[in-house]
Structure 1
Amino acid sequence: MGRLDGKVVFITGAARGQGRSHAVRMAEEGASIIAVDICEQIPTVFYPLATKADLDETVAQVEAVDGRIVAQVADVRNRDALQAAYDAGIEEFGHVDTVLPNAGIMPVINEGARQQAWFDGIDTLLTGVWQTIEVALPGMIERGRGGSILITSSAAGLSSIGLNALPGQAAYSAAKHGVVGLMRLYASQLATHLIRVNTVHPTGVNTPMVVNEAYGAFVQEFPEIAGSPHFQNPMPVPLVEPIDISNAMVYLASDEARYVTGVTFPVDAGYLNR
């Protein structure tokens, strides 16, 4: 018997990285998955974003653990496309128990299109989170069975982490703090509906967002950033793995956490406790 048997989870940014890990791990625990990803490049992002082939691989991995999944290409910045993807999942599964706004970009070292990097960061990391919640929320409330909303924030959402002062970095930091405000608002407003709302705050995670050629070159050019104690985890691990975040998500989505709401949940190898 799985910890999420009978539950349906709506996950954005599910084509690879943390999103794929969450989808597979939750399917292992019995959840059905509605998966969404943009599968398209955003010009201000310095590393390659996920592709349709990546999303297809998520489907294959979920099905390999006997999970059920509906996967759609949609941009969280586009409310109509996001609604259509959600509706396709509802048509298959009938309801949603957990919303996991995970889609994210890190446009923090792009020297070009600086102003646009701010808008792309805020639109994806903050507005996209709000839109994901708002698409799913009416059905969750109407169903009357409670549920959970698990927002992917960052250690940068609870501290002043910054690689530089470029607009993309400012947007990343502002958005990751901003979703904490959204979480506290929704946690307060939705408690009477037994809908729990929390944020999860990883340190650096071993995904293509940070493990890529462009970011590696940046670290080589500015070793004082990568080597600074300010950017190191107190526990002797440079990066945590996606599964470490997924395990926290499974707990928070499960009935084991039925009274856990309004919390900022770090999975950060001690980063925020230095």
Structure 2
Amino acid sequence: MGRVEGKVAFITGAARGQGRSHAVRLAEEGADIIAVDICTDFETIGYPMATPEDLAETARLVEKHDRRIVTIQADVRDAAQMKAAVETGITELGRLDIVVAQAGIAGMKGEPRWQSFTDVINTNLVGTINAISAALPHLKEGASIIATGSTAALMDTSKVDEPGKDPGGVGYVYSKRALTEYVHNLALHIAPEGIRANVIHPTNCNTPMLQSEPMYRSFRPDLEHPTRADAEPVFGVQQAMRIPFIEPLDISNMVLFLASDEARYVTGTQQRVDGGGYLKWYGVHF
């Protein structure tokens, strides 16, 4: 019997990258999936978003494990769309037990600068709140909410960022920090109902977000058009362990743990899957 057998998971940003990995890993362990993704590019973001074909591929991979999946193109920035997506999924699959608020964008070097800041906040922070808020009325005792933060959320950006230089990048850090505080407080207030909420903080993760020209420029500002080969050696500076990045599956395994009954008393935590990035940069502040 799988570790989440018979449960239903609502996952945003599910068309590729971490979101797809989470959907497949939970399906491997017995969950049915409500998979949501916008599948539309942002004018302010310098790398392409997932496509409808990517979302269909997620469905194919889930179905390989003989699990059911409902795929929905929807925008996490729109609370009504999230409510409709949850209700559609529950109508098809009958229940809701797990929420994985994964959808997010990185606005590094985004233009126009301040619009990229707004798009990042609305997606990463407001989108997380919308997804969780849409799911909450349907959750019962034993349910698990998991949001994706970032090791960047733990940074003191005042020491590393030139004010006003890259609002999209700062928006990414702020949004992840703010959603972390939101989930922390939410966990306290839903605990009496037996519902848990936790945040996972990945370091660099090998997804299209990391492997993109804007991110390469962030890591190699000394080069006008850096490539993956230029940036990858610098990726490793983020972690104490000798790795350039982690894989989506490394995060999915933590998602699975937090979604399972093995973590039935784990709530309000900040789970770092970061190769020691926090240890390297942020000292002994637990």
What band does the TM-score fall into relative to the shorter chain?
A: over 0.9
Q: Classify 1:163/1:247 alpha carbon distance in 2 versus 1 (closer, same or farther; 3 Å).
A: farther
User: 2:14, 2:22 → 1: CA distance?
Assistant: 8
User: 1:175, 1:51 → 2: CA distance?
Assistant: 24
| Distance apart, 1:230 and its partner CA | 9.0
| Distance apart, 1:220 and its partner CA | 4.8
CA contact (8 A) 2:2 2:29 kept: yes
Residue 252 of structure 2 corresponds to which residue in structure 1?
246
Query: Which amino acid counterpart does residue 207 of structure 1 have in structure 2?
Result: T
Pairs within 5 Å for 1:209-224: 209-216=209-216, 219-222=219-222
Query: Which amino acid counterpart does residue 14 of structure 1 have in structure 2?
Result: A
Pairs within 5 Å for 1:111-260: 112-140=111-139, 144-160=140-156, 165-216=165-216, 219-222=219-222, 231-260=237-266
SS across alignment from 2:136: helix
| Distance apart, 1:226 and its partner CA | 7.0
SS across alignment from 1:198: strand
CA contact (8 A) 1:163 1:169 kept: no
| Distance apart, 1:231 and its partner CA | 3.8
User: 2:121, 2:72 → 1: CA distance?
Assistant: 23
CA contact (8 A) 1:108 1:163 kept: no
Query: For residues 36-68 of structure 1, what are the alpha-carbon distances to aligned partners after superposition, in whole Å with 9 as ceiling and x for unaligned?
Result: 000000111110110100000000010112121
Q: Classify 1:210/1:273 alpha carbon distance in 2 versus 1 (closer, same or farther; 3 Å).
A: same
TM-score for the superposition, normalised by structure 2: 0.89
Query: Which amino acid counterpart does residue 27 of structure 2 have in structure 1?
Result: A
Q: Classify 1:225/1:212 alpha carbon distance in 2 versus 1 (closer, same or farther; 3 Å).
A: closer
Residue 265 of structure 1 corresponds to which residue in structure 2?
271
| Distance apart, 1:78 and its partner CA | 1.1
User: 1:163, 1:54 → 2: CA distance?
Assistant: 34
Residue ranges of structure 2 left out of the alignment (5+ in a row): 224-229, 281-286
| Distance apart, 1:257 and its partner CA | 0.3
Residue ranges of structure 1 left out of the alignment (5+ in a row): none
SS across alignment from 2:49: coil
Query: Which amino acid counterpart does residue 2 of structure 1 have in structure 2?
Result: G
TM-align CA RMSD: 2.0
| Distance apart, 1:146 and its partner CA | 2.9
| Greater mean deviation of Cα atoms: 34-43 or 164-173 | 164-173
| Distance apart, 1:20 and its partner CA | 0.1
Q: Classify 1:215/1:4 alpha carbon distance in 2 versus 1 (closer, same or farther; 3 Å).
A: same
CA contact (8 A) 1:14 1:55 kept: yes
| Distance apart, 1:86 and its partner CA | 1.2
| Distance apart, 1:113 and its partner CA | 0.8
Q: Classify 1:19/1:217 alpha carbon distance in 2 versus 1 (closer, same or farther; 3 Å).
A: same
Q: Classify 1:209/1:228 alpha carbon distance in 2 versus 1 (closer, same or farther; 3 Å).
A: closer
Query: Which amino acid counterpart does residue 200 of structure 1 have in structure 2?
Result: I
Query: Which amino acid counterpart does residue 5 of structure 1 have in structure 2?
Result: E
Query: For residues 102-131 of structure 1, what are the alpha-carbon distances to aligned partners after superposition, in whole Å with 9 as ceiling and x for unaligned?
Result: 000001112x21111111011000000001
User: 2:212, 2:196 → 1: CA distance?
Assistant: 35
Residue 64 of structure 2 corresponds to which residue in structure 1?
64
Aligned length: 270
Query: For residues 51-98 of structure 1, what are the alpha-carbon distances to aligned partners after superposition, in whole Å with 9 as ceiling and x for unaligned?
Result: 100000000010112121101000000112222211110101121111
Residue 30 of structure 2 corresponds to which residue in structure 1?
30
User: 2:181, 2:42 → 1: CA distance?
Assistant: 26
Matched-pair identity in %: 45
TM-score for the superposition, normalised by structure 1: 0.93
| Distance apart, 1:216 and its partner CA | 3.5
CA contact (8 A) 2:6 2:31 kept: yes
